[in-house]
Amino acid sequence: MKKNQNALWLTFTCLLLMCSMESYAQNTSVSGKIKTPQPDAEVYLVKWDLNEGNHAITDTVEVSKEGNFSFTVPMNSPEIYLLSFYRKQTVMLVLEPNQKITLNVDGENGGQASVTGSKDTDLLIQFNQKRTMLQEQKLRPLVDLYQAAQEAGNETELLEITADYEKESAAINEVMQAYILNEMSNSVAAYAAYPDWESDAEMKLMQQVVKNVEKERPGLALTQDIQAKITRMARFAIGAEAPNIEEVNPEGEKVSLASLRGQYVLIDFWASWCGPCRQENPNVVRTFEKYKDKGFTVFGVSLDNNKEKWIKAIADDELNWPQVSDLGGWQAAPAALYNVRSIPANFLLDKEGRIIAKDLRGEALEAKVAELFAEGDKADK
């Protein structure tokens, strides 16, 4: 009898907990109107994955003939979603439980969108508007100059414009990072400011944002996701030991990154189909030829999926260093291992295999390698 009483009590307790959880979960409504409705089209609701970046469609709804749509989103803590309209326009939303969000969107590329009912989303929209304004003012003219120089075949001017572009991009990032800390760091909207959060500078900024949000609203699931990403990205921070890569070369032989220990090594992620990679290759070749006899080498990792084109690019660009690829394209295992989302990308390693610099371009690569050997010469004296 006592055993049955315990079982009944356990069942009753579980039911109470389930009811409590259900009452805690609240629905947020997301509805709106599209200016340019299309027949038989759908709107996609995508949940943003702040840790791994595996964004997933969680719901789809059909749009009425008048262009109206609506979602009901169950949640019990803040979450970040993306609405995709006909795969032409996207709007990112920072949602809280029990909100009523209303949108008016154009539904076309570059279309305007207005959102009411979410202060966090307002902060995010203001952030993106400021960043877009700076990019149009500072970067758009350089893009136009680059296209003109490309049409004229002026390689020297292309390198100069690329350097200016990277300098201006860095300046914009500094302004926007200061904006995050000063205007939105206590809001979970800051988590959506940089959807990828890849660079060391961004991760350092995110650590401060996490500290601020955790103080204001401890224990959020979004914060836990970001903390998991910070831990994961620490594997590629300056000073971390680079994970080993072992893949096959064009001859089908396995080559290991670890086998190059004792030299300074540039892990160079590239592909034959990547225009910016091919434009950067002469800079890498120049640095390699100048320092290869002093203890510097390159470990090329291709994101090709066509072996013949990969081999031809190696020959055409005279890439006379170890080259490997699993021919998996963007799904290549080394790219996933190093969280490479765009190319060209590179990691400079010291003689012990630790990361000492990342994403060096043009003259910056040669200058950094020259600095390393200058320091070595001083040490020898």
pTM, two decimals, is 0.70
Asked if pLDDT for residue 369 goes beyond 70, the answer is: yes
Q: 378: pLDDT confidence band, cut at 50, 70 and 90?
A: low
Does residue 5 have a pLDDT over 70?
no
Tell me if residue 52 falls in helix, strand or coil.
coil
The pLDDT confidence band at residue 18, using thresholds 50, 70 and 90, is very low
DSSP 284: H
Tokens coding 381 = 């004296």
Return the pLDDT at 12: 40
pLDDT band at 200 (very low <50, low <70, confident <90, very high): confident
Write the DSSP string, 338-380.
Answer: TT--SSSEEEEE-TTSBEEEE---THHHHHHHHHHHHHHHHHH
Average pLDDT over residues 306-325: 97
- Measure the CA dihedral 300/303/308/312, to 10°: -40
Residue-level pLDDT at 25: 59
For the record, the structure tokens of 107 come out as 């539904």
**Average confidence (pLDDT) over 173-184:** 93
In this predicted model, what pLDDT tens digit does every residue of 77-96 receive, in sequence order?
999 999 999 888 899 999 99
More confident residue, 14 or 281: 281
pLDDT of residue 199: 76
What span, in angstroms and rounded, lies between the C-alpha atoms of 152 and 112? 36
User: What pLDDT score was predicted for residue 233?
Assistant: 83
Mean pLDDT rounded to a whole number for the chain: 88
Residue 371: predicted pLDDT:
94
The two tokens of residue 26 are 């609240």
Burial (0-12, 13-18, 19+ Cβ within 10 Å), 344: buried
Residues 6+ apart with CB under 8 A from 254: 246, 247, 248
Pairwise pLDDT comparison (19 vs 175), residue with the higher score: 175
Neighbours of 8 (CB within 10 A): 10
Q: Tell which wins on pLDDT, 4 or 195.
A: 195
Q: What is the mean pLDDT of residues 172-185?
A: 92
What value does the mean pLDDT take over residues 266-285? 96
pLDDT by residue (tens digit) across 38-59? 877 889 999 988 877 778 899 9
Domains recognised in the chain with CATH numbers:
24-115 (2.60.40.1120), 131-236 (no CATH), 246-380 (3.40.30.10)
Residues 169 and 130: their CA atoms lie apart, in Å, by: 14
- pLDDT above 90 covers what percent of the chain? 71
As a whole number of Å, the CA-based R_g of the chain is 26
- What lies within 8 Å, CB to CB, of 72 at 6+ separation is 27, 28, 29, 30
Is residue 11 scored above 50 in pLDDT?
A: no
Does position 69 have pLDDT exceeding 90, yes or no?
Answer: yes
Nearest residue to 62 via CA among 86, 80, 29? 86
Residue 2 pLDDT more than 60? no
pLDDT of residue 229 exceeding 80: yes
Q: What does the pLDDT read at residue 341?
A: 84
> Could you read off the pLDDT of 230-258 as tens digits, one per residue?
888 888 889 999 999 999 999 999 999 99
Adjacent-strand bridge partners of 301: 269, 324
pLDDT given at position 23? 41
Give the percent of the chain with pLDDT over 70: 92
- Give the Cα separation of 93 and 85 in Å (integer): 13
| Greater model confidence, 49 or 273 | 273
| pLDDT value, residue 21 | 39
Segment 343-360 mean pLDDT: 95
The more confidently predicted of residues 12 and 97 is 97
